[in-house]
Chain A
Amino acid sequence: MGITINNISKAYNEVSALQDISFNVKPGELFGLIGPDGAGKTTLFRVLTTLLFADKGTATVAGYDVVNDYKSIRNSVGYMPGRFSLYQDLTVEENLHFFATIFGTTIAENYDLIKEIYVQIEPFKKRRAGDLSGGMKQKLALSCALIHKPKVLFLDEPTTGVDPVSRKEFWEMLKRLQKKGITILVSTPYMDEAALCDRIALIQDGKILEIDTPQAIVKHYPKTIYNVSASNMYALIKSLNEYVYSHSVYPFGEFVHYTDQRDDFNPTDLKSYLEAKGLKNITINPTETTIEDTFMELAR
């Protein structure tokens, strides 16, 4: 009932979008596909939702083959494309009603499934979908994708362009939907959302970098990360990059995440090096690894 993907490859006129992708999503799992823009997330979604043929490989969704049983898949999955794809000139209620009708159901029949989401947009049900805010649009789109009680839910970057509060709410909803037994494959470019998934796949340039639980992925990170800060951010990054033992340097909010090549790294060495470079107010402290750090390390 989950998703199986075996050696899927796909290219658009010589440009490879997916290279030999394989992984499984277990039934009832909340699985995250994490990667930057252009990593191939949308292409993979389209292959799984039977919209595109893969060049190589096979895949099944809810037990159906994506090529041969495409009709069965189209009956049993919910798909929310990355771009807002509802009818902007129809009202909230009309959109929901339309999608309920074409899936041969009614709003009343599956109201319990969408209730928690829909109550938030219900006050605006007479408003045209095009006039909703970003977060509202996504909630409506999710409601429409859920209205026929799908077995598998595909959400392509559902929180892109949504404010932080709505993003948080959105993920809470996904967690609740998961409890109702729906398998969810969700993609996002936001690394902080990855921690909320059961398992994640890090994807870049059409290749899977790693698949595991968010905790395990963070744990596998081989090095200790240091938060480094100084009064002049630009000079700090420049100096760290020039440091002979520097392994990785990434700006991370008000700090710079720094890792060293040596196993017996001593922060005081680095501090004196930076002081020699003329930097002031230097702090160097070890910090916890985030998924973003892992991703950057894997993507090097």
Chain B
Amino acid sequence: MKRFIGFIRKEFYHIFRDKRSLFILFGMPIAQILLFGFAITNEINNVDIAILDHSKDATTQEIINKISASKYFSIDAFITREADIESVFKKGKIKAVLNFEKDFSKKLIKENVATIQIITDATDPNTANTISNYTNSILQKYMQEQNKDIKPIYTIIPQTRMVYNTELKSVFMFVPGVMTIILMLVSAMMTSISITREKELGTMEILLVSPLKPIQVIIGKVVPYILLSVINAIVIVVLSIFIFNMPVEGSLFILGLESVLFIINALSLGILISTISKTQQTAMMISLMGLMLPVILLSGFIFPISSMPLPLQLISHVIPAKWFIIIVKAIMLKGVGITFIWKETLILLGMTLFFIGLSVKKYKIRLE
């Protein structure tokens, strides 16, 4: 035990004396979360839309004017047939089509209810969602103005329809994604680098010719990074709550436990990488290419998995980050308990055990 503590103390010396890795450890999470938080916003500006007006009366004209007066939308085309909707979308410039039903004014006066269909191009689900929200709020405002002196109350029903990604499953929430990336990067890359550094500097040779067992070396390498990653996770959650008003509906305790599980998963991947790479540079490249890219591209963080081609969807199943993002979203946004995410947790746990087993098996007790 004393040996083990001595080893961990040495690891902390390494971490705190290397300014660059300290910067990666603590500077990056903060920079990333702020960058993603402020740069990737849900704001839209002058989005091109098309109008399909079947009634062409005073009310629809008024609504169209309101919409075109807002800074969010600019009307690019007026179309006359339902059949044209598809072709304007295919050109790619138009992001939404507003479809006013026939006899809009008449219905509003007679039945007090009229319908506008908001059709959005959901290839970018984030923008599509925002467009429909903004349109709705313009309509709401218009109704309030109208209803001030008229009784009975007019109701305009907006029917939202998304095309190309109809279910709109990926609510763009960057915090779970950033958290996943940071934990993956810190845990996997830093451990793999710190182990390969021992190989590169030749100190691994001395460690091998010592009574330290492989498992002691591995755990000794891992423990400091578990602690640091947990601190990172806390920083990210605190930042997202206080700066971006991210809701945390579920239990912070479960979120913490799940995070530790994911951190251990990433660490075991880091050890695995270190067993197959000889230099720090290789370890870093493998971590970046082999872990970061899949995490960013295939985990559902930026690109919704549901809109990926099937082969990529299948690949995404073996990416631990995907399951962690699902868990974090479920806890933070939906506020569910462990009963709803046990399946994902089990998958993550299974992957972790597999990676740990593999890396202990692959850890070399000799130089070749």
A binding-site residues for B, Cβ under 8 Å: 46, 49-53, 70-71, 73-75, 77, 79, 81, 83-90, 94, 97-99, 101-104, 144
Kindly list chain A residues whose C-beta atoms are within 8 Å of the C-beta of B14: 87, 89-90
In angstroms, Cα B203 to Cα A41, docked, is: 19
Quick check: A74 and B368 within 8 Å, CB to CB?
no
Kindly list chain A residues whose C-beta atoms are within 8 Å of the C-beta of B366: 50-53
Given known A98-B10, A102-B7, contact A74–B203 (CB-CB < 8 A): no
Contact check: which of B5, B211, B212, B367 meets A51 at CB < 8 Å? B367
Q: What number of residue pairs across chains A and B have CB atoms under 8 A from each other?
A: 80
Given known A53-B366, A94-B10, contact A83–B210 (CB-CB < 8 A): no
Quick check: A74 and B205 within 8 Å, CB to CB?
no
Sample of 16 more A-B contacts, CB < 8 Å, known A87-B203, A101-B5, A101-B7: A50-B208, A50-B209, A51-B208, A70-B365, A71-B211, A74-B208, A79-B205, A79-B209, A85-B202, A86-B203, A87-B201, A98-B6, A102-B3, A102-B212, A103-B3, A103-B210
Kindly list chain B residues whose C-beta atoms are within 8 Å of the C-beta of A103: 3, 210-211
Kindly list chain A residues whose C-beta atoms are within 8 Å of the C-beta of B210: 74, 99, 102-103
Given known A87-B10, A88-B201, A89-B18, contact A104–B367 (CB-CB < 8 A): no
Kindly list chain A residues whose C-beta atoms are within 8 Å of the C-beta of B201: 85, 87-88
Contact check: which of B3, B13, B203, B206 meets A101 at CB < 8 Å? B3
Q: What are the 5 A-B residue pairs with the smallest beta carbon separation, nearest first?
A: A101-B6, A85-B202, A79-B209, A51-B367, A89-B17
Kindly list chain B residues whose C-beta atoms are within 8 Å of the C-beta of A46: 367
Q: List 12 A-B contacts (CB under 8 A).
A: A51-B209, A70-B365, A85-B202, A85-B203, A87-B14, A87-B203, A98-B10, A99-B206, A99-B210, A102-B3, A103-B211, A104-B211
Quick check: A104 and B368 within 8 Å, CB to CB?
no
Quick check: A53 and B10 within 8 Å, CB to CB?
no
Quick check: A74 and B367 within 8 Å, CB to CB?
no
B2 at interface (Cβ–Cβ under 8 A)? yes
In angstroms, Cα B368 to Cα A144, docked, is: 25
Quick check: B209 and A102 within 8 Å, CB to CB?
no
Quick check: B202 and A83 within 8 Å, CB to CB?
yes
B binding-site residues for A, Cβ under 8 Å: 2-3, 5-7, 9-10, 13-14, 17-18, 201-203, 205-212, 365-368
Kindly list chain A residues whose C-beta atoms are within 8 Å of the C-beta of B208: 50-51, 74
Measured between C-beta atoms, what is the minimum distance from A86 to chain B in Å?
Answer: 7
Quick check: A52 and B202 within 8 Å, CB to CB?
no
Kindly list chain B residues whose C-beta atoms are within 8 Å of the C-beta of A89: 13-14, 17-18
Which residue of A has the minimal Cβ distance to B3?
A102
In angstroms, Cα B3 to Cα A101, docked, is: 5
Quick one: which of A94, A97, A102 has the most chain B CB within 10 A? A102
Measured between C-beta atoms, what is the minimum distance from B195 to chain A in Å?
Answer: 14
Kindly list chain A residues whose C-beta atoms are within 8 Å of the C-beta of B17: 89
Kindly list chain A residues whose C-beta atoms are within 8 Å of the C-beta of B212: 102
Which residue of B has the minimal Cβ distance to A97?
B6
In angstroms, Cα B14 to Cα A102, docked, is: 17
Given known A87-B10, A101-B6, contact A52–B367 (CB-CB < 8 A): yes
In angstroms, Cα B206 to Cα A51, docked, is: 10
Quick check: B211 and A102 within 8 Å, CB to CB?
yes
Which residue of B has the minimal Cβ distance to A87?
B203
Measured between C-beta atoms, what is the minimum distance from B23 to chain A in Å?
Answer: 16
Which residue of A has the minimal Cβ distance to B6?
A101
Contact check: which of B9, B13, B368 meets A53 at CB < 8 Å? B368
Given known A50-B209, A104-B3, contact A94–B367 (CB-CB < 8 A): no
Quick check: A85 and B13 within 8 Å, CB to CB?
no
Quick check: B202 and A101 within 8 Å, CB to CB?
no
In angstroms, Cα B4 to Cα A102, docked, is: 7
In angstroms, Cα B13 to Cα A53, docked, is: 33
Kindly list chain B residues whose C-beta atoms are within 8 Å of the C-beta of A73: 209
Measured between C-beta atoms, what is the minimum distance from A48 to chain B in Å?
Answer: 10
Measured between C-beta atoms, what is the minimum distance from A43 to chain B in Å?
Answer: 10
Which residue of B has the minimal Cβ distance to A51?
B367
Quick check: B3 and A85 within 8 Å, CB to CB?
no
Kindly list chain A residues whose C-beta atoms are within 8 Å of the C-beta of B6: 97-98, 101-102
Kindly list chain B residues whose C-beta atoms are within 8 Å of the C-beta of A102: 3, 6-7, 207, 210-212
Which residue of A has the minimal Cβ distance to B205?
A81
Kindly list chain B residues whose C-beta atoms are within 8 Å of the C-beta of A84: 202
In angstroms, Cα B5 to Cα A75, docked, is: 19
In angstroms, Cα B367 to Cα A74, docked, is: 14
Kindly list chain B residues whose C-beta atoms are within 8 Å of the C-beta of A98: 6-7, 9-10
Kindly list chain B residues whose C-beta atoms are within 8 Å of the C-beta of A70: 365
Kindly list chain A residues whose C-beta atoms are within 8 Å of the C-beta of B209: 49-51, 73-74, 77, 79
Measured between C-beta atoms, what is the minimum distance from A142 to chain B in Å?
Answer: 13
Given known A101-B3, A102-B212, contact A81–B368 (CB-CB < 8 A): no
In angstroms, Cα B207 to Cα A74, docked, is: 9
Quick check: B10 and A81 within 8 Å, CB to CB?
no
Contact check: which of A74, A83, A86 meets B211 at CB < 8 Å? A74
Quick check: A85 and B368 within 8 Å, CB to CB?
no
In angstroms, Cα B10 to Cα A184, docked, is: 29
In angstroms, Cα B212 to Cα A49, docked, is: 14
Kindly list chain A residues whose C-beta atoms are within 8 Å of the C-beta of B9: 98
Which residue of B has the minimal Cβ distance to A85?
B202
Kindly list chain B residues whose C-beta atoms are within 8 Å of the C-beta of A99: 206, 210
Kindly list chain B residues whose C-beta atoms are within 8 Å of the C-beta of A104: 2-3, 211
Given known A94-B10, A101-B2, A104-B2, contact A85–B206 (CB-CB < 8 A): yes
Kindly list chain B residues whose C-beta atoms are within 8 Å of the C-beta of A86: 203, 206
Kindly list chain B residues whose C-beta atoms are within 8 Å of the C-beta of A53: 366, 368
Measured between C-beta atoms, what is the minimum distance from A155 to chain B in Å?
Answer: 13
In angstroms, Cα B206 to Cα A85, docked, is: 7
Which residue of A has the minimal Cβ distance to B201?
A85
Which residue of A has the minimal Cβ distance to B17?
A89
Measured between C-beta atoms, what is the minimum distance from B219 to chain A in Å?
Answer: 14
In angstroms, Cα B9 to Cα A88, docked, is: 15
